Amino acid sequence: MNAIQLDHLTLSVRGAEVLSDISLAVGEGEFVGVLGANGAGKTTLFRAILGLNTATAGAITVLGRPATRGNPAIGYLPQVRTAPPQVALAGRDFLAASIDGHRFGLPFPSRSAQRDIDRVLDLVQARELAERPLSQMSGGERQRLLIAEALIGAPKLLLLDEPLIGLDPRQQQVVVQLVHDLGRELKLTVLFSAHELNQLLGAIDRVLYLGHGRAALGTVDDVITPEVLTPLYGAPIDVIRAGGHIFVMSRGQDVERGHAHDHEHDHHHHGSR
């Protein structure tokens, strides 16, 4: 059984087609890096897998079933769209809010919920965050807490939307390594979207590159080539490998770096999806 299967999938956001007639399959236990320019459809695809965007055409199958909203088999780390809330709540209470958070009732976690919180905090090696208020956490700690949150309820599939945004390169590496190890340990399928390929090299099994309504899924060597990427960018692409890094260039400009620092624009895109 595949973790995710897309059959002739077309996705639109407010009438504009973002992905057109995509067919591909991600196997169970794979760690897939999801790349592409802003507006290429990374978040749109994630939201469709979560059942939040309906397909214009085609079908999405998640772990053998059609995509539905509220699927407990999916752990999700949304992209931080706005400034993180200045909430002084402790990490434990922050996590507790998401356990059974869709059910009506009082927000006080049961004993088994408390155990689940301890379990996921141990998994991300951050038990100390339980007592720390959110407003005093660093970007890396906050991201660790959000990864812990995505692990609540023992999901089979993780959708992590840009978890590296706002982190320095060292923290980025730590997060990628953590997700990679968690995926192995818990036999999770992981879709991990990012701006830059290089941070993910060595950790990911395959790469899913989106652009111009198209998608390419394969190993880094198969996908990161001028032939595959040129139609995805709609512009001639050169791929330069140097010192263990890969640079995707268009007309002498690094297309990944070109927008890696352009978070303002990125937020705008996601805000208007």
Q: How far apart are CA 46 and CA 142, in angstroms?
A: 21
Q: How far is the CB of 136 from other proteins (least distance, A)?
A: 8
Select 11 or 74, whichever has its Cβ closest to other proteins: 74
Select 104 or 170, whichever has its Cβ closest to other proteins: 104
Q: How far is the CB of 134 from other proteins (least distance, A)?
A: 8
Select 158 or 232, whichever has its Cβ closest to other proteins: 158
- Look at residues 97, 71, 72 and name the one whose alpha carbon lies nearest to residue 85: 97
Residue bearing tokens 């214009």 = 56
Q: How many C-beta atoms surround the C-beta of residue 101 within 10 A?
A: 9
Select 77 or 217, whichever has its Cβ closest to other proteins: 77
Q: How far is the CB of 67 from other proteins (least distance, A)?
A: 11
Q: How far is the CB of 83 from other proteins (least distance, A)?
A: 11
- Look at residues 85, 86, 139, 150 and name the one whose alpha carbon lies nearest to residue 116: 150
The neighbouring-strand residues paired with 75 are 158
Q: How far apart are CA 36 and CA 14, in angstroms?
A: 20
**Which string of b and e fits 158-176 if b means at least 16 CB within 10 Å?**
bbbbbbbbebeeebbeebb
Q: How many C-beta atoms surround the C-beta of residue 49 within 10 A?
A: 23
Q: How far is the CB of 107 from other proteins (least distance, A)?
A: 4
Q: How far is the CB of 190 from other proteins (least distance, A)?
A: 16
Residues 6+ apart with CB under 8 A from 150: 75, 76, 77, 158, 159, 160
For residue 12, give both structure tokens: 């639109």
Select 81 or 127, whichever has its Cβ closest to other proteins: 81
Select 51 or 218, whichever has its Cβ closest to other proteins: 51
Given a contact cutoff of 8 angstroms between Cβ atoms, the answer to whether 203 and 32 are in contact is no
Binding site for other proteins (CB under 8 A): 47, 50-52, 69-70, 74, 76-79, 81, 85, 87-90, 93-94, 96-98, 100-108, 131, 133, 149
Select 50 or 179, whichever has its Cβ closest to other proteins: 50
Q: How far is the CB of 258 from other proteins (least distance, A)?
A: 26
